[in-house]
Copies of this chain bind each other. A is one copy, B any other.
Amino acid sequence: MTIKLHCFGESGNAYKVALALELAGLDWQPVFVDFFNGETRTEDWRARVNPMGEVPVLQDGDMTLTQSGAMLDHIARTTGKLDGDRSEILRWLFWDNHKFSTQIGMTRFLMNFLPEAKRPQPVIDFQLGRLKAAYGVLDAQLKGRDWLVGRDVTIADLSCCGYLYYPEPFGFDRADWPEIDRWLNNIQSLPGWKHPYDLMPRAAAA
């Protein structure tokens, strides 16, 4: 049965899962969520897909799952692909959720997808400072390594790279972080890699 991923192109959290499904060679399809027009806030969507209103949502047979980290674990566990040392992988998935993607996602949203008059500049400035420290942690970890955990690509890489291929500004420039840049090239070189906007339909006008 085809796996369904409720998603939209701008969601880096959805991209992590879409890329894992693609690289693991699974039979899946994106189900477009019209996020910026409020689809996840409608009663119909919440009743049908996810009462919490979060995207992405994965439907695999009878199972419905939220939170990209739990989906990545599900994909690695059920396929045996993109897997590795459990504690080390979880450590990076949690770091990504705790310190990295969660900050990027919000900052990128405030800087790009909110109307300009509504952008809270003090919040954006504060977040950009925190993010710089986080880029430094990732860059240092990648020194002398091709992948975050072990000797091959795992879901830890796919989680942490989730927002880093997007063109919209959020205080990240690959040229500033040589180790991250090299690692992003490694991921891009994987057979089957696709850019988020080529893997999922976009919700905002390009």
Contact = CB atoms under 8 A, between A and B. Distances in A.
A90 B102 contact: no
A48 interface: no
A165 to B, nearest CB: 20
B87 A69 contact: no
Interface residues of A, number: 30
A117 to B, nearest CB: 16
A74, A90, A94, A123 — most chain B CB neighbours (10 Å): A94
A103 to B, nearest CB: 8
B140 A51 contact: yes
B51 A98 contact: no
A96 to B, nearest CB: 9
Contacts of A74: 87
Oligomer copy total:
2
Contact of A102 (B67, B73, B99, B123): B99
B93 A94 contact: yes
Nearest to A53: B137
A86 to B, nearest CB: 7
A28 interface: no
A59 interface: no
A66 interface: yes
Interface in A66-120: 66-70, 73-74, 77, 86-87, 90-91, 93-95, 97-99, 101-102, 120
Contacts of A70: 87, 90-91, 94
